[in-house]
Amino acid sequence: MFKGIKSKGIDLFTLVTGLMVHSMDEDNSLAATAQWMFNPVVKSIYGIPEDDNVSQKTLNRALEALGANDEVIVVGLNKGIGRLFPGLDHDAIADGSSIVANSDHGELAAPGHPRDRNPDGMQVEFMLGMMGRSRIPFHIRTFPVNTSDEEVFSTSLPEMMGLLDYGDMHSHDDVKDRLLEDMERRRDERRQGRKGRGRPK
């Protein structure tokens, strides 16, 4: 899955594994993760040579590599899930939310919605697709914060359909515009309906 994405130094799989383990056990601080991966015991577990050190800059580059190759990685994950769990049903659950962005340098991060009571905090939106029965995640897509629900769903759902049907995120791109148009029409109809009811006297 990560083949060809990073060729020099410590392999990308090791860096990503370390990031995931540390974030689940402690926190998602890159500086703290780098310090943790400096431990000789951790190095031994992950097969990192004693004279190699994982720096915060190295972890930053690993995350940048993930972002730059997100579609390749998602397709690879989906194929791996299919090999490990053959015969999975194609019912899917799609839901999205926003998450705190720990950096203001990315293209997607921006101040979040006022209802989050943190108007100055930087956030990013995401949409996650999971298998209906097993709850195995098979798709994720990030968006600039405050992207409309119509845009999020009309972009993500065709990609999920393509992955489930053909293992190709773009095999159903042709339905995106129609889906977006239909969702926006329904939204406008709901708004007009609310306006038409008026206030009770």
Q: Among residues 184, 61, 174, 74, which one has the least CA distance to residue 126?
A: 74
Mean pLDDT of the 181-199 span: 76
pLDDT band at residue 28 under the 50/70/90 scheme? confident
What pLDDT sits at residue 104? Answer: 60
Residue 60 CB neighbours (<10 A): 14
Residue 59 DSSP symbol: H
Q: Residues of the chain with pLDDT > 90: what percent?
A: 24
Helix axes 56-68, 70-84, angle to 10 degrees: 80
Q: Is the per-residue pLDDT at 117 higher than 70?
A: no
Mean pLDDT of the 54-83 span: 88
| Angstrom distances, CA of residue 125 to CA of 40, 59, 141, 190 | 37, 22, 9, 24
